[in-house]
């Protein structure tokens, strides 16, 4: 087993993100999954973010060259949109956590649907990855060991 789950010859394990794109995804992960306490926002652990970025890289890597090109463009856009969207003279990955969160929140609430879609293009896969494994899986209240565990029901089985 590796971070991405079981591997065999049918899983090529192709990674396609450049270091700068990994930084973008890492920064998005930090903002999307931060929590808060009395002192303010708390970013998730570095290990958690690394795992999410790694699995996102594998996911994109499993797609076609068209998909990979598409995500390169989307990552570029989300990285540079703060300048035009919240007037911040900074790339998204260099914004302080609170500003980054505010940026993503503004994107999600954009009246122009395509801007909201840009956020969703990252939020969807990153959230699926983030909450797939414990301890985050436990936060959903899911009560089986893993998402691939069978439900045990007495008296129900194959004919």
**Which residues of the chain form contacts with other proteins (CB under 8 A)?**
4-6, 9-12, 14, 31-36, 41, 55, 58-67, 69, 101, 104-105, 108-114, 116-117, 119-120, 123-125, 127-133, 137, 139-144, 146-153, 156-159
Closest to other proteins by CB, 22 vs 130, is: 130
CB 32 within 8 A of CB 119: no
**Token pair listed for 82:** 């703060």
CB 31 within 8 A of CB 97: yes
The secondary structure of 15-80 as a DSSP string is: ----HHHHHHHHHHHHHHT-EEETTEEEPPPHHHHHHHHHHHHHHHHTS-HHHHHHHHHHHHHHHH
Closest to other proteins by CB, 19 vs 141, is: 141
Q: How far is the CB of 152 from other proteins (least distance, A)?
A: 8
Q: How far is the CB of 19 from other proteins (least distance, A)?
A: 19
**Secondary structure of residue 95 in the 3-state scheme:** coil
Closest to other proteins by CB, 23 vs 129, is: 129
Q: How far is the CB of 150 from other proteins (least distance, A)?
A: 5
Q: How far is the CB of 69 from other proteins (least distance, A)?
A: 8
């Amino acid at each position: 087993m590796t971070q991405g789950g079981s591997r065999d010859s049918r899983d090529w394990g192709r990674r396609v993100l450049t270091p700068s794109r990994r930084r973008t995804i890492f920064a998005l992960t930090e903002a999307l999954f931060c929590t808060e306490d009395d002192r303010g926002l708390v970013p998730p652990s570095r290990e958690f973010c690394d795992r999410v970025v790694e699995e996102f890289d594998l996911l994109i890597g499993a797609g076609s060259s068209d998909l990979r090109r598409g995500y390169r463009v989307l990552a570029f856009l989300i990285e540079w949109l703060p300048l035009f969207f919240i007037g911040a003279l900074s790339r998204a990955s260099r914004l302080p956590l609170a500003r980054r969160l505010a940026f993503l929140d503004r994107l999600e609430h954009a009246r122009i649907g395509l801007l909201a879609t840009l956020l969703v293009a990252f939020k969807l896969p990153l959230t699926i990855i983030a909450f797939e494994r414990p301890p985050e899986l436990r936060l959903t209240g899911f009560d089986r060991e893993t998402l691939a565990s069978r439900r045990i029901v007495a008296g129900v089985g194959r004919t």
